[in-house]
C-alpha cells in the first residue's frame, strides 16, 4: 500500500470512530429526552423540531447558557451547566433549575434569545418548557430539560461560518394569562425509572464501577440492601468500611449527592447533582438486587 492510501485509510478509520462515538451520544440524549418528556406528557404539548441525527458534523461550537428573571417574578432561575461543547447536528440535553421563592403558586412564561442573532436560525430546540405558561407551586424547585441541536447547515453559511460561541438566554416573566398553565412539577413528580437509571449508570458510573467486579470502585450488583463497605477484597476507605449501615434508597441518595458529607472520610471522587437522575440510578441498582426479605411479624 502506498503512503497516500495508508493515510486515506487512517482518515477513514478515524472518521468512522468519531461517528460511532457521536451516534452513542446522540441516541443517549434522545432516549433521555423521550424518557423525560414522554413520562411528563410534555412531548405532545410543545413545539418540536426533529433532529437530523444522520448529519452530525465534526465541527463543534460552545453553547453557553444565560438566565434572567424579570422584575415582579419571585423565582430563582439558573442553568445547571454554564456551557457545553457540541458538534453541529448533535442532539444535546441540558437542564435549567427554577425555584419559586414565594408562598403562592405562580405562573411564569419563558422567552429566549440566541446570540449572535445571525445564528438564531440554526439553533434548533426540541424543548419541554419554552413559550408556554408554566406553573410552579410555593417554594417548589424543579429542573427542566431543554434539548437542542445546532443545524449543520451553519457551517455553509458565510455569515455564520466563523461563529465558535453561541449563547442561549432565557428570561422568565410573570404570566399575564395564568389560567390552565401546566405545572412544572411534572418534571419532578414522575416515578423513578430504572431504564433511565441504566443510562445514567452507563454514562456516569461505569468509568469506575462494574456490576460484578471491582474497578476503581467496588462492584455494584446487589449493592441495594448490602452493608456499606463490605465487598471482600476491595480496598475501601476506613470511613466506608466502618460505616456500619446497609444501603437503602435514602442512604444511596445522600451518598450520590455528596459522598463526603454522607460518610465523612469516604473516597468516591464523584457526585450527581440532579435528584431525578439519582432516583433513576437508584431504581436501576435496586432492580439488580434480590428483594429485601420482609421481616416475619413478631
Ligand atoms: C471516579 C470514580 C467513581 C465514579 C464515577 C463513581 N464512583 Fe462510586 N465509588 C468510587 C470509589 C473509589 C468508591 C469507594 C469509596 C470508599 O472506599 O470510600 C465508590 C463507592 C461507591 C458505593 C459504595 C459501595 C459499597 O460497597 O459500599 C456506591 C453505592 C457507589 N460508589 C455508587 C456509585 C454510583 C451509582 C455512581 C454513578 C452515579 C458512582 N458510584 C460513580 C468511585 C466512583
Q: Is the pTM of this model over 0.85?
A: no
Which set of grid coordinates corresponds to residue 45? 404539548
Ligand 1 pocket test, pick from 196, 197, 204, 209 with the greatest ligand atom count within 8 Å of Cβ, gives: 209
Q: What is the model's pLDDT at position 50?
A: 44
Q: What pLDDT digit, counting tens, does each position of 23-53 carry?
A: 333 333 333 433 333 333 333 222 234 444 4
Q: What is the model's pLDDT at position 42?
A: 35
Task: Please give the mean pLDDT across all residues of the chain.
Answer: 79
pLDDT at 295 over 90: no
Across 59-79, average pLDDT: 94
Banded pLDDT at 293 (limits 50, 70, 90): low
Query: Using CA positions, which residue lies closest to atom 17 of ligand 1?
Result: 236
What is the distance between the alpha carbons of residues 260 and 207, in angstroms, rounded to a whole number? 20
Spatial neighbors of 20 by CB under 8 A, at least 6 apart, are: none
Query: Using CA positions, which residue lies closest to atom 6 of ligand 1?
Result: 205
The residue behind cell 452513542 is 24
Which set of grid coordinates corresponds to residue 200? 445514567
- The Cβ of residue 14 has, within 10 Å, a number of other Cβ atoms equal to 11
Q: Which of 38-52, 105-119, 146-160, 251-265 has the highest mean pLDDT?
A: 251-265
Q: What pLDDT digit, counting tens, does each position of 138-169 carry?
A: 999 888 878 788 999 999 999 998 899 999 99
Q: Which residue has the higher pLDDT, 7 or 264?
A: 264
Q: Which domains does the chain have, with CATH numbers?
A: 14-187 (2.60.370.10), 194-287 (1.10.760.10)
Banded pLDDT at 99 (limits 50, 70, 90): very high
Asked whether the beta carbons of 47 and 78 are under 8 A apart, the reply is no
Cα four-point dihedral sign 87, 89, 91, 92: positive
pLDDT at 3 over 70: no
Lining ligand 1 with CB less than 6 A are 204-205, 207-209, 216-218, 220, 223, 228-229, 231, 236-237, 240, 247, 252, 255-256, 266-270, 272, 281
Q: What is the model's pLDDT at position 124?
A: 85
pLDDT at 18 over 90: no
Lowest-confidence pick of 67-76, 197-206, 211-220: 197-206
**What is the whole-number distance in angstroms between the Cα of residue 209 and the centre of ligand 1?**
7
User: Strands 165-174, 60-69: parallel, antiparallel or unpaired by DSSP?
Assistant: parallel
**What is the whole-number distance in angstroms between the Cα of residue 208 and the centre of ligand 1?**
7
Q: Which residue has the higher pLDDT, 186 or 108?
A: 108
Q: What angle do CA 164, 127, 35 make, to 5 degrees?
A: 115
CB-count burial class (<10 Å; 0-12, 13-18, 19+) for 164 = exposed
Amino acid at each position: 500500500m502506498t503512503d497516500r492510501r495508508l493515510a486515506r485509510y487512517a482518515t477513514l478509520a478515524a472518521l468512522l470512530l468519531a461517528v460511532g462515538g457521536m451516534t452513542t451520544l446522540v441516541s443517549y440524549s434522545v432516549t433521555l429526552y423521550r424518557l423525560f418528556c414522554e413520562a411528563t406528557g410534555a412531548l405532545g404539548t410543545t413545539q418540536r423540531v426533529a433532529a437530523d441525527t444522520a448529519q452530525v458534523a465534526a465541527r463543534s461550537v460552545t453553547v453557553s447558557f444565560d438566565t434572567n428573571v424579570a422584575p415582579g417574578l419571585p423565582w430563582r432561575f439558573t442553568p445547571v451547566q454554564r456551557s457545553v461543547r457540541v458538534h453541529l447536528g448533535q442532539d444535546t440535553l441540558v437542564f435549567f433549575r427554577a425555584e419559586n421563592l414565594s408562598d403562592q403558586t405562580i405562573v411564569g412564561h419563558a422567552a429566549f434569545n440566541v446570540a449572535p442573532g445571525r445564528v438564531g436560525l440554526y439553533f434548533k430546540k426540541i424543548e419541554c418548557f419554552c413559550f408556554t405558561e408554566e406553573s410552579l407551586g410555593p417554594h417548589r424547585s424543579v429542573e427542566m430539560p431543554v434539548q437542542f441541536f445546532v443545524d449543520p447547515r451553519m457551517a455553509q453559511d458565510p455569515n455564520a461560518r466563523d461563529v465558535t460561541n453561541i449563547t442561549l438566554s432565557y428570561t422568565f416573566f410573570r404570566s399575564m394569562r395564568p389560567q390552565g398553565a401546566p405545572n412544572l412539577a411534572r418534571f419532578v413528580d414522575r416515578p423513578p425509572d430504572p431504564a433511565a437509571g441504566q443510562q445514567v449508570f452507563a454514562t456516569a458510573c461505569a468509568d469506575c464501577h462494574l456490576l460484578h467486579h471491582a474497578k476503581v470502585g467496588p462492584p455494584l450488583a446487589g449493592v441495594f440492601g448490602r452493608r456499606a463497605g463490605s465487598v471482600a477484597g476491595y480496598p475501601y476507605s476506613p470511613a466506608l468500611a466502618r460505616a456500619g449501615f446497609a444501603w437503602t434508597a435514602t442512604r444511596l441518595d445522600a451518598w450520590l449527592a455528596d459522598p463526603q458529607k454522607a460518610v465523612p472520610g469516604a473516597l468516591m471522587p464523584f457526585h450527581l447533582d440532579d435528584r431525578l437522575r439519582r432516583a433513576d440510578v437508584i431504581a436501576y441498582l435496586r432492580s439488580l438486587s434480590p428483594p429485601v426479605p420482609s421481616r416475619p411479624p413478631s
